[in-house]
Amino acid sequence: MNQLVLITGGAGFVGSHVADELLRQGYRVRVLDSLVEQVHGPGKHPPAYLSPDVELIVGDVADPAAVHRALQGVDAVYHLAAAVGVGQSMYEVAHYTTTNNLGTAVLMEALIQQPVERLVVASSMSVYGEGLYRTPDGRLVAGAERSRQQLMNHQWELRSAADAPLQPVPTPETKIPALASIYALSKYDQERVCLLLGQAYSIPTVALRFFNIYGPRQALSNPYTGVLAIFAARLLNDQPPLIFEDGYQQRDFVSVYDVARACRLALESPDAAGSVINVGSGINTTVRDIALQMSAVLGKEHIEPQITSEYRVGDIRHCYADISCAERLLGYHPQVDFKHGMADLAAWLEGQVVRDQVLVAKQQLAERGLTL
Catalytic center residues: 183
Q: How far apart are CA 155 and CA 163, in angstroms?
A: 12
Q: How many CA atoms lie within 13 A of 109 on its CB side?
A: 14
Handedness of CA 216, 362, 314, 104 (dihedral sign): negative
DSSP conformation letters of 138-159: S-EESS----HHHHHTT--S-B
One-letter-per-residue 3-state SS of 61-73:
CCCHHHHHHHCCC
The residues near 16 (Cβ < 8 Å, ≥ 6 apart) are: 10, 47, 49, 50, 51, 217
Q: How far apart are CA 134 and CA 203, in angstroms?
A: 38
Please check whether residue 22 is in contact with residue 5, taking contact to mean a CB–CB distance below 8 angstroms: yes
Q: What is the DSSP letter of 361?
A: H
DSSP conformation letters of 232-289: HHHHHTT-PPEESTTS--EE-EEEHHHHHHHHHHHHH-GGGTT-EEEES-S--EEHHH
- Cα 156 to Cα 26, 67, 152, 307: the distances in Å are 48, 44, 9, 13
Q: How far apart are CA 219 and CA 88, in angstroms?
A: 15
Q: How far apart are CA 183 and CA 121, in angstroms?
A: 15
